[in-house]
Amino acid sequence: MRRFGFTSQVLAGVAVAFIVLAVPERIAMAAPQDTLATSKPSGAIGLGDKPVRVVLRDGTGAPAPLAVLRKRPSGKSLHLVLKGLAAAQQPGVIYNLYLGAPPDGAPAEDPRHVGSFNFFAAVPLPGADRSRDAGDSTAYSFEITDLADALQRRGLLAEPFSVTIIPEGTPTAGAKPVIGEIALVAE
């Protein structure tokens, strides 16, 4: 088709470029990675209106010690990866992620703050095909190398290695947000 002077190859190239620019997390997650600790043995993590502390576990299923942060291979950085986000409906709040256990109601300015995430892409649009698992396509990756090193130097992390998730506000009743897995990976 040449109606506007573009060939299908040019349009395909634009589409590929858009996809590469629009989903950096998906591309970064394709890089080789070593899982150092995970929440997987504990099952899905349900979120509500209160803080949720998640202890990550090592390869044996035991709580991961803080030493796991120093086990990254040379030249790799540490990432916290949240996978399998799903909800029955939009929770209507943003969730803040922290390394360790900050005080209740910690502000986003707390030094343990990793970043924020939401469930916007985790809930299918009304009328959309719900046969696919929306959680498999919804993931967040947070680079935490420098933050983890700084918190350890300042003595702000306690055994065992954990993360805390705190909602900003009260989630919508019946939203039932869950995270399938939180993993500490070296990439």
What pLDDT does 84 receive? 93
What pLDDT does 13 receive? 42
Is 80 strand, coil or helix?
Answer: strand
What pLDDT does 135 receive? 41
What pLDDT does 127 receive? 65
What pLDDT does 41 receive? 79
What pLDDT does 65 receive? 94
What distance in Å separates the CA atoms of residue 47 and residue 54, rounded to the nearest whole number?
11
Q: Kindly state the helix (H) or strand (E) to which residue 136 belongs, with its residue range.
A: helix 134-137
Longest CA–CA span in the chain (Å) reads: 64
Stretches where the chain sits below pLDDT 70 are 1-32, 105, 127-137
What pLDDT does 15 receive? 39
